[in-house]
Copies of this chain bind each other. A is one copy, B any other.
Amino acid sequence: MPNVSFIPHAAARVSAVLAQLKDYLGDKVSTNQSVCEAHSHGEALELARLPAAVVFAETTEDVSTVLGICHGAYVPVVAFGAGTSVEGHVTPPEHAVSLDLSRMTGVLQVNAEDMDCRVQAGLTRQELNIRLRDTGLFFPVDPGGEATLGGMCATRASGTAAVHYGTMKENVLGLTVVMANGEVIKTGGRVRKSSTGYDLTSLFIGSEGTLGIITEVQLRLHGIPEQLSAAICQFENLEDAVRTAVEVIQAGVPIARVELMDDVQMAASIRYSGLDELRPITTLFFEFAGAPASVREQVEVTEALAGDNNGLGFAWADTPDERARLWKARHNAFWAVKALYPGFRVISTDCIVPISQLASLIVGVKADIEASGLQVAILGHVGDGNFHTLIMTEDTPEGSAKALELDRKIVARALALDGSCSGEHGVGVGKLEFLEREHGAQSLEVMRTLKVALDPRNILNPGKLLPEGLAYIG
């Protein structure tokens, strides 16, 4: 650590920095109260804290300027995209600058023949897919929310399509990253594989803005499938539905999506999304994609497996509108639950286990839910072994404590089954307490060593991703 004994108090440092930032970046710097409020939190509202200022970066150079200035003065910086993260990732540290990248929406190149493109980090995936419309290509990673691609990199996002296309980890070829001191590096490239040097791209994917700030992303694209079919199948029994999903994966069916919603979730979604043709019982949502004969083959295997597990028959959504309605209902699951008890908080949990453990995990979780007396919906990306619960609770300290207690039980179950405490939401501050149990103290020491090496002044989103503790002494 450099000698910090002559560094002025944090509040004084950030004031000095604001003057410098305005000199260099003019009206891209805002201290407006409502702008600061909008940057005080992501979707975890309870963790809100105001930044000292918000800077709206328009270029990689802007980001470099901000970091150079803040680095000089030991002022923390947190990157902000669409503010859709749920674990407190974008909540500013104390006396920090929030660096908003949402103006960086350029599509810098589309290489249709190579199925890749380069975009600025503030572009959302929805907007990218609109701009790709004429190419026959699309970017498949779909976390549901209207997230930016930079934010999706930073949290290693995935979602409903990961079972087929993989997560951000598998779909990013390279990055432009601004390091803590403002230095700009490029990682990876355009080739499909390479074995030259450390995999810096993967190091920044999932680093939650704590090692560098991502400003450009080289993405893999995929051909829009020749045929897309969606279907739902309902089950009287939760375990039968889980077993069906597991067996579909084990049979090697290259299914595009397979999502589960339990009875509580279905009741909420039927009401919220008008799915009146459905019953409030456990339901699997399927999507099949590919060439026609392959899709037919996938459907046959899947229908047979669902039948063997007491599925109540397939209902098909054959038109694009029907499919859109179904997937919109799935993506609105959170809001459907939220609408059940206005004024309640809804806390989304997120864990993942090897798929063979999923049925026993969910059975255990159901028992925990019953014991808690809370209203809880279960839904998830069952094809990956990843599932969420949505815990409804009164917006009081007691309510939150009760929900957190249930969350802890669920995570403990998942970790005991070789699982992870987050399949896709990330650590932020919400999952810090589980990290040592999941990774072990030694691995965390190595992670802290990387953090200290790349951000020795600890200005990049401090307090996120890594619980406090020792670094590795090589």
Chain A residues engaging chain B, CB cutoff 8 angstroms: 111, 113-116, 155-158, 162, 166-167, 169-170, 179-181, 183-187, 189-200, 202-203, 205-207, 211, 222-223, 246, 250-252, 254, 290-294, 296-297, 352-356, 384-386, 418-427, 431, 434-435, 438-440, 442-447, 449-450, 452-457, 465-466, 472-474
**Given known A191-B354, A353-B191, contact A196–B435 (CB-CB < 8 A):** yes
| A192 closest partner in B (C-beta) | B384
Q: With contacts A196-B426, A293-B296 known, is A181 near B473, CB below 8 A?
A: yes
| Contact A354-B179, Cβ < 8 Å, known A191-B420, A440-B186, A454-B449 | no
Of B180, B192, B450, the residue contacting A450 (CB under 8 A) is B450
Shortest CB-to-CB span from A139 to chain B, Å, is 15
Given contacts A202-B203, A443-B200, A453-B474, contact A157 B195 (CB under 8 A): yes
Cα–Cα, bound, A196→B167 (Å): 13
CB-CB < 8 A to A195: which residues of B? Answer: 155-158, 167, 206, 422-427
A440 to B174, CA, bound (A): 13
CB pair A197–B114 under 8 Å, yes or no, is no
Name the distance in Å between A198's Cβ and chain B's nearest Cβ: 5
B447 engages A200 (CB within 8 Å): yes
Residue of B nearest to A157 (CB): B195
Q: List 18 A-B contacts (CB under 8 A).
A: A113-B354, A113-B355, A158-B195, A167-B195, A169-B193, A179-B442, A179-B446, A186-B439, A191-B352, A194-B423, A196-B422, A197-B443, A198-B211, A200-B443, A202-B202, A450-B450, A453-B453, A454-B474
Could you list 14 further interchain pairs (A-B, Cβ under 8 angstroms) beyond the known A181-B474, A200-B443, A293-B297? A116-B354, A179-B474, A185-B445, A187-B439, A191-B352, A194-B422, A195-B206, A195-B423, A196-B435, A198-B465, A203-B450, A450-B453, A453-B474, A457-B474
Could you tell me the distance in whole angstroms from the C-beta of A317 to the nearest C-beta in chain B?
23
Contacting residues, chain B, for A296 (C-beta < 8 A): 293
Residue of B nearest to A115 (CB): B250
Residue of B nearest to A473 (CB): B181
- Which of A155, A206, A222 is the most central at the interface, judged by chain B CB atoms within 10 Å of its CB? A206
**A111 / chain B contacts, CB cutoff of 8 Å:** 354, 356
Q: What residues of chain B lie closer than 8 Å to A187, measured between beta carbons? A: 439, 443
Please state if A456 and B427 are interface contacts (CB–CB under 8 Å): no
**Which A-B residue pairs are the 5 nearest by beta carbons?**
A202-B202, A453-B453, A113-B356, A194-B420, A293-B293
Q: B residues within 8 A CB of A385? A: 191-192
Q: Establish whether residues A196 and B420, one from each chain, have CB atoms under 8 Å apart when the complex forms.
A: yes
Task: Determine if B203 and A223 form an interchain contact, defined as CB atoms under 8 angstroms apart.
Answer: no
Does the CB pair B294–A447 fall under 8 Å? Answer: no
List the B side residues contacting A443 at CB < 8 Å: 185-187, 197, 200
Closest B residue, CB atoms, query A465: B197
Report how far A176 CA is from B447 CA in the complex, Å: 15
Which chain B residues border A179 with CB–CB below 8 Å?
442, 446, 472, 474
Contact across chains for B114 and A196 when beta carbons are under 8 A apart: no
Cβ-defined contact, A442 with B205, below 8 A: no
- Contact of A203 with B198 in the complex, beta carbons under 8 Å: yes
Instruction: Give A442 to B420 CA distance when docked, in angstroms.
Output: 34
Q: Which residue of B166, B418, B439, B440 contacts A196 across the interface (Cβ within 8 Å)?
A: B439
Q: Are B206 and A198 in contact (CB under 8 A)?
A: yes
Question: A439 near B352 (CB under 8 angstroms)?
Answer: no
Cα separation A187 to B223 with both chains bound (whole Å)? 33
Report B-chain residues with C-beta under 8 Å of the C-beta of A196. Answer: 420-422, 426-427, 431, 434-435, 438-439
- Collect the chain B residues with CB atoms within 8 Å of residue A452's CB: 453
Q: Please determine whether A354 and B190 come into contact, CB atoms closer than 8 angstroms.
A: yes
A206 contact set on B, CB distance < 8 A: 195, 197-199
> In the bound complex, do residue B194 and residue A472 qualify as a contact, i.e. CB atoms below 8 Å apart?
no
